[in-house]
Amino acid sequence: MTIGRADITKLTYGKATVNTAIRWLPFFLPILAVAYGTTTATLALLLGLAEAAGLSTLFVGRWLDAGRERLVIVLALVTVAVSSALALVGSIWLFAAALLLLGAASGFVTVGGHAWISARVRFERRARFIGIFEMSWATALVVGVPVVALLIDRFNWRAPFIAVAIAALGGAALIGAMTDGEGNQRRPLAKADKTPITTDAWMIIALAAMIALAGLTTVAVVGTWLDLTLGVSTGGVGLVAISFGLAELTATSSSSVFADRLGKRRTIQASVLVTLAGLAIIATAGNSLFVGVVGLIIFFLGFEYSIVTSFSLVSEAMPKSRGRVMGVSNAVSTGGRGIGVGSSGYLYDRFDIGGPVTVSVVAAVIALVLLALIGKRRSDL
């Protein structure tokens, strides 16, 4: 089974758009706090609630298993445009509603894309295509965040929301025009699958959630840390974001190239250890911009590789109920990310960067334990 370059490019563009819509926000929390007349801690809490909106993927599994992946993605991208329109008003309450819509849409695009790919590519080669799709995460930093910094600098805080809305509608049109090709064909929607999720599958779901928690808890306060502790300007944040994005792009492309060859589970273990090394450097950076950026780059390398490669494990946890497991996994990871992101502002205010980093370290260690247990139970992974 194969996937055409044009189709994977369109899917990746759509996900890059929704990723940019989310990823630029933590880097510019101080600016948005002024725009909405609130605090960075409050905005961090709202970002956590937005993550929690991804719980809605619990209800999309049967649509994915029935071959409705494109419809799910298109509706999600239209929702991103609606979210951006609400954020333009300038009301903190409408911004909160916008974030809830954005969080749900992000989850739908992710599981929809993973399901579309998994239905068309064997597990032995799947990490390559999921890795390409997930390059959108890094693209949001390499291209999206610097463009946002330029738009804010040249215009105002509203400009990025307008740009995202236009890009999202364009992505919806491109993906909506795709053909289904090989793989899942549309089938009548069945009743919800009552087959219990296996213990092995739950462990894989928990693994993905711990990796997400390890990454997002610290990522959520990166912009604030760079601004308030390391003294990086708005334009400088954009430049730093490029370096992070390049690190992530390196990690994602490495997953695409090496995970299938060297073993998905084995290389996740190595990348989680890299994540821990980066967190250790961040914790000891003090006021040193150089040390802080080096630690962040290493952290981003490890986190990005591990999270992207974990998606392939989730996609094979229960192949006959792939869509349902992906939906549940995204929902569980969303809960973990929501806790991490929502608490990150408080932890930063109380303990500086050491607070979020501690939570990330604990989650990463739990991920290593789960990987060891999964390896004993599932030799096929």
- The fraction of the chain above a pLDDT of 70, given in percent, is 92
pLDDT number for residue 2:
62
Predicted confidence (pLDDT) per residue in 188-201, tens digit: 555 555 678 899 99
pLDDT number for residue 272:
96
End-to-end CA distance of the chain: 20
Contact 53, 64 (CB under 8 A): no
Question: Taking the model in full, what pTM does it have?
Answer: 0.81
Predicted confidence (pLDDT) per residue in 109-121, tens digit: 999 999 999 888 8
pLDDT number for residue 299:
92
Domain 5-377, CATH: 1.20.1250.20
d(CA 314, CA 109): 16
Look up residue 198 and give its DSSP letter: P
pLDDT number for residue 330:
87
92 exposed, middle or buried (CB, 10 Å; 0-12, 13-18, 19+)?
Answer: middle
pLDDT number for residue 149:
87
d(CA 163, CA 11): 19
Give the residue ranges of the chain where pLDDT is below 50. Answer: 183
pLDDT number for residue 191:
56
Q: In this structure, how many other beta carbons lie within 10 angstroms of the beta carbon of residue 366?
A: 18
